[in-house]
Chains A and B, each alone.
Chain A
C-alpha cells in the first residue's frame, strides 16, 4: 500500500497553523490529490498548543491524523520537543529558531530558520510567519507546486490580506532558495 505523506504543522494557538494546514490541503486539492486535514488545539484562541495535520495521497486516506510524520514544522520549543520523536527517520524537520533553541534528535533533513524574526523585520509584523514557513516547507519538500500554494492562499485569505500573505509566501520561497548558500 502506498502510504500518504504525513505533514504536521505545530506551534501555539494564534500562530495561524490551522489556516496554514487548510491552505496546504487546498493546494493539494488543486492538484487533484486525496487529502485530509485535521487539527487539535486547546480551549484558548491565543496561546496553548495548536497543531494541524495534512495527509496527502493518490489513494483513499483512511486514518486522517498524522502518526509518523514525513514533514514536521515546529514554531515553538514545546511543539518541537513534543512531536520530534514521531518524525520518520528520513523525515524533514523545519524549526523556527526564534523560539526553538534545542533540537533533541537530529535527523538528516533539518532546516533551522528564525522565521518570526525575519518576517517581523521584513514585513513589519510576525503575523504571516505561518505562511512564510509554509512556503519554505513547500519549496524545500516539493509536496505541492508553488503556483498551487499561491492559488490556495488567494482563495483562503481575506481579500485585504492577500497581498501581504503572497509577500510572506515569496519571502519563504527566497529563504528556502538561499538556505544552503
Chain B
C-alpha cells in the first residue's frame, strides 16, 4: 500500500516482543497503526524523538506494538501525561492514540483543555462507538437507539460529534476520516503531525465483534463497506442538498488554522520572566 512497503512497516513493530496483538479479527485498529507507521516513515521522522502516549482501551494498546518511546497510561489521562512530556521536551513529536470512551468520557476534561491551550499534540482518536475492551458498554459516541450491554433497551442518550467538540474547545486542526480510507488516514496523520498546534484526527472505525454483532451490522467486510458508502468528503457535502447528506459521516480537514502554540508561548513567557526581572 502506498509508497511504504510492508517490510518497512515491520521495522517499526516490536514483533519480537509483544505479538500476537490483542485486537480481534476485523478490528480497525491495525489499519490505523499501519497508517501511523507509514506517515512517520514517509515523513522520515527520527523515532527517538517521537513519544506515543495512550490511555486505556482497545486502541490504547497500540503503543505496546510500535517501536517508539511509548507510554501506556491511565484511563482517560493520556492527554495529561502527554502534556507533561511535551512541556518538558517541546521538540519531541507527541502522538496520543485514544478512543471514544477514553478521550470523550473519562478524559473529556483533558481533551477540551489541551485543545484550548493549543498545545502541539497529535491526538488520533479511533472512534468505534463502544467500549470494546470491557465487552460492549455504551460510550459517548454510541448512536441514539443503538444497543449496548449497558443500554439493552436502546441508547437514550444523544451522541457526541467529536470534531465539533474539539473545534468548540479551540483545537486548531480537526479532521475526520474512516478506517476504510486507509490512505486518507495516513495523509491526515501526516497533516496532523505537521500542524503546529493541537490537532485532533477522528478515525471512524469498525468493531464487528462487539458493536457490530450487538447492532446487527453484519461482518467485518460489511462494516467496511458501510464506512465507504455512508461517508462523503467535505467538498461533496458542501454541494449536496441536505436530504442527501443526512446521517453521513463527513470526511475531510474540518479546521486548519494557525494560532499561538502553547509551548512557544511558554518559551516566550520564560524570556519575559528572565529579562524583565533584575533580581
**In-complex A–B contact (CB below 8 Å):** no
